[in-house]
Amino acid sequence: MEPRKRVYLDHNASAPLLPGARTAMADVLALTGNPNSVHAEGRALRKHIEDARTAIARLAGAQTTRAAFTGSATEAITQAIVGAARAGAIDRIITSTGEHKAVLKAAAAAGVPVNEVALSADGVIETAALGKVIADADVAGETVLVAVHWVNNETGVIQPLDEIEALLADTQHFLFVDAVQAFGKLPMKFAASRIDMAAVSAHKIAGPAGVGALFMKARCDKFVLIPGGGQEQGRRGGTESAALIAGFGKAAQDLAGAYDLERVSALTDQVERLIETHAPDAEIFGRRALRLGTTVNFAVPGLANATAMIGFDLGGVALSAGSACSSGKVSKSHVLKAMGVADEMAQCALRVSLGWTTTEADIEFFEKVLVGILAQRKSGRGAAA
């Protein structure tokens, strides 16, 4: 009996591992030693780490020495935000109401005042309001850390980084960018930008989970979260996981050959069209804003996302109800709330996210399962929100 077909449409949560990354990890796992040892075994592992550092720095448009490996993007985010506060470099944090929870929780834990700037109904940060908070900080003689994401993980909305950088031009303030969803998909020029720090993650670019990186300009080198034994040029203590890092580096090298954003965007457009065809009353969130062509966040009135996700999973389609950082729970989206979406619609929100493995056949299969779920809803057999 042939295995039942499965279609994976949850790339924003974690992208399927590239074959080269898997091979790179296996090769390093066959080695013995500590990458910080000076003997031949240690030097062999160190070479894998430094080769990976070069690869991810190239993808970020950064100097190789400006990348520090971490255990995850969440750790990198926390190091940037909490580390800046612990170093006494900032008096205030400015973020938005729609940031990833990793940013919001790090800001809450930093021990300095936090301002959360509102999002528009399209999911875009209100730059005029952001500018006012920055100006008020200038008057008060405060140094602030502005912490914003580049691409929202739930809606795919791209934030106006150029405008945000312009607000901080010729100031002493710091800019941290959560670049997790943008890395490897949008052109990144860290070295030439006004960005002081940027967090990225391996498993979002088809590398392994359990490793991330923080890009840091020189003035942020003292923003340390884990002092440890001086690894990563003193910016992140703890023996590096050479195998995971090697997988990260190989994914960064191979992504361009495996990932065609134009092709993925065309498939994403196809998803939106078929949703509109089969569910004319559906709402697609953030559609009037500039979005990365990987994500469709939509809601069909009366179709609870918890029920719909079960239907999709049983039908062979993996998708999500938003962020995958809630320990398997389906909870209300704070991002949609920040966009002013009514609770009854937010409880129906589903996220389809595409990537390097997605094919047109996958979208056709998604359509078939969607039609079946909508038919159940129409007949009254699907639970309403």
Catalytic annotation, residues: 325
Residue closest to 338 by CA, chosen among 160, 122, 102, 178 = 122
For residue 334, the SS3 value is: helix
Residues 6+ apart with CB under 8 A from 263: none
Q: Position 41: which residue type?
A: E
336 contacts 324 by C-beta, under 8 angstroms: no
Please give the sequence-ordered ranges of beta strands (E in DSSP) within 38-87, or none if there are none: 67-70
Residue 53: how many other CB atoms lie within 10 Å: 24
Give the pair of three-digit tokens for residue 246: 């090697």
Please report, in angstroms and rounded to a whole number, the separation of the first and last CA atoms in the chain.
37
Q: In b/e form, how buried is each residue of 100-123, taking b as 16+ CB within 10 angstroms? A: bebbbbbbeebebebbbbebbebb
- Side-chain half-sphere exposure of 24, counting CA atoms within 13 A: 28
Alpha helices in 202-304, H assignment, sequence order: 242-258, 261-278
Residues 6+ apart with CB under 8 A from 280: none
DSSP 204: G
Q: Which helix (H) or strand (E) holds 372?
A: helix 360-379
Residues 6+ apart with CB under 8 A from 97: 116, 117, 118, 119, 334, 337, 338
